[in-house]
Amino acid sequence: MTGPAAPARRAASHSMSSTPSSRFQIAVVGGGIVGKACALLLAQQGMQVALVAPRPVGETARSGEDDWDSRIYAFSASSQQLLERLRVWEALDPTRVQPVRDMRVFGDVSAAEASPTPHGDLHFSAYAAAVPQLAWIIESSHVERVLDTALRFQHQVQWFDEAADGFERDLDGVTLTLASGARVRANCVVGADGARSWVRQQCHIGTSQRRYRQLGVVANFACELPHQETAWQWFLGAPEKLMADEELANGEIVAMLPLPGNRVSMVWSADEAHAQDLVALSPEALAATVAQVANGAVGARFGALRCLTPAKGFPLVLQRAEQFVQPHVALVGDAAHVVHPLAGQGMNLGLRDVTELGRVMADKEPFRSEGDLRLLRRYERARAADLLSLTAATDGLHRLFSLPGTPARLIRNAGMRAVGGQGLLKRFLIGRALG
């Protein structure tokens, strides 16, 4: 065996080394929740899978009272079903998993304009929907650690603990050259490597994109009063200084998601300048600012808040790849699509991609390769409707609540209250949220 293979033996911590002749049915590039779940699912279906993803440095288990990851996700019923199928769900620490029984959404109606309903302009109840819960809130790092453990015991997966920096495609498949010089050959490469996907760039797949000129500011808090297993969301409208400029006006949104114990996780979709101000606040000042919104005339009652994690901001965009598939290549998760976080459905969309790709591969005719374009287009077509409807809903709501002026505010909030009173439509929306 020649020179480049030796570093690969050290890099792939629980796999044999790779040579130019190494062949896999699937190579998954990307080590987030979506990429790891994809590799695990396809391996459990009997495929030989390469996972190409550097391991995160410095990750430690979180178990302290105040030691909570600020990256949290709301997992829908469809995502829970996939993780259960992967035998990951039952391995999660139940003390780090928070069910959501209620969701209360408030429009940007001021006290002078209308009397807000005590339960929100939109109130979604698990009890009314005849389901045990609407979603589960879990830290990203906790889910990833459990997936890591499952992958270590899955002998159909070879994990290459390094980045790919070479991509060669021919009629028979794709060869990835890794940072060490090792080479991985696969019938199909799955790009699960995020919004700035390297795989997508190698395939020269363009994207359509809309920048929201906002940052999502995230932080966790301990709260004085119980959160009542409820997720809260407020549409605040655009900041006053931007209201006169329709090009700059962007409605801000605050979400408070329950965590185990008397803890909550905040996501504040804020104008870029305002977001930078929020990130720069001291923990005490940030807690006071958030409490003013959360305990205001329209909203929840959390009492005093104490900041558990420093505020972090990430840019918000709407993005979609022009193609989800090419010969021997498929994109999943943020590599294929990024939506506004106001509905908390980005991760669920990605995991539904994984479920559908797994279904397509399981139903594959014996004579087809995993990289057959006709096969991969079945996956692309199957995901189109789900993505289109959720993108239209999230982007449409964001645009609606960014419209300046009192008439627009009165109309949209009246519309929210009307939707809240329609049982059939509410059940439909709950069904969509459950996946």
Q: Are residues 167 and 134 in the same domain?
A: no
Instruction: Please give the pLDDT value at position 190.
Output: 98
CA distance 339 to 75: 16
Q: Are residues 223 and 366 in the same domain?
A: no
Instruction: Please give the pLDDT value at position 416.
Output: 53
Q: In what order do the strands lie in the sheet with 72-75?
A: 72-75, 135-139, 97-100
CA distance 97 to 100: 10
Q: Are residues 14 and 110 in the same domain?
A: no
Residue 378 burial (CB count, 10 A): 18
Q: Are residues 126 and 218 in the same domain?
A: yes
Q: Are residues 266 and 385 in the same domain?
A: no
Specify the length of the chain in residues: 435
- On whether the CB atoms of residues 298 and 109 are closer than 8 A, the answer is yes
Interior angle at CA 429, CA 388 and CA 113, nearest 5:
105
Helices (H), 205-302: 272-280, 283-294
Q: Is residue 399 part of a domain?
A: no
As a whole number of angstroms, the longest Cα–Cα distance in the chain is 77
Nearest CA to 363 out of 375, 371, 374 is that of: 375
Q: Are residues 41 and 135 in the same domain?
A: no
pTM of the model as a whole: 0.85
CA distance 26 to 184: 10
Nearest CA to 86 out of 14, 131, 139, 149 is that of: 149
CA distance 148 to 33: 10
Q: What's the CATH number where 29 sits?
A: 3.50.50.60
* Token pair of 97 as six digits: 């998993």
Residue 208 burial (CB count, 10 A): 9
Q: Are residues 311 and 424 in the same domain?
A: yes
Q: Is residue 262 part of a domain?
A: yes
* Token pair of 418 as six digits: 């009307």
How far is residue 60 CA from its own chain's centroid?
22
Tell me the average confidence (pLDDT) per consecutive run of 10 residues in the chain, 435 residues long.
Answer: 36 40 89 97 97 76 68 94 97 96 76 44 80 94 96 95 96 95 96 97 95 92 93 75 48 90 93 94 95 71 90 92 97 94 84 98 96 98 87 64 56 53 51 57
User: Which segments within 308-433 are labelled E, that is strand?
Assistant: 312-321, 325-326, 329-331, 337-338
Q: Is residue 155 part of a domain?
A: yes
Instruction: Please give the pLDDT value at position 127.
Output: 86
Q: Residues with Cβ < 8 Å from 43, sequence gap 6 or more?
A: 49, 154, 156, 157
Q: Is residue 203 part of a domain?
A: yes
Q: Is residue 65 part of a domain?
A: no
Q: Are residues 51 and 155 in the same domain?
A: yes
Q: Are residues 282 and 187 in the same domain?
A: no
Could you give the 3-state DSSP secondary structure of residue 178?
strand
DSSP string, 238-253: S-GGGTT-TTT---EE
Q: Residues with Cβ < 8 Å from 157, sequence gap 6 or more?
A: 15, 39, 40, 43, 49, 50, 51, 151
* Token pair of 164 as six digits: 């790919």
3-state helix, strand, coil in the chain (%, to 5): 35, 30, 35
Domain span at residue 48 reads 5-58+142-208+320-393
Q: Are residues 50 and 156 in the same domain?
A: yes
Helices (H) and strands (E) in the chain, counts: 12, 20
Q: Are residues 239 and 117 in the same domain?
A: yes
How many domains would you assign to the chain?
2
Q: What's the CATH number where 228 sits?
A: 3.30.9.10
Residue tagged 């999943």 (tokens):
332
CA distance 290 to 275: 12
Q: Is residue 67 part of a domain?
A: no
- On whether the CB atoms of residues 27 and 38 are closer than 8 A, the answer is no
Q: Is residue 256 part of a domain?
A: yes
CA distance 129 to 136: 16
Q: Is residue 82 part of a domain?
A: yes
Q: Are residues 104 and 169 in the same domain?
A: no
Nearest CA to 162 out of 20, 55, 57 is that of: 55
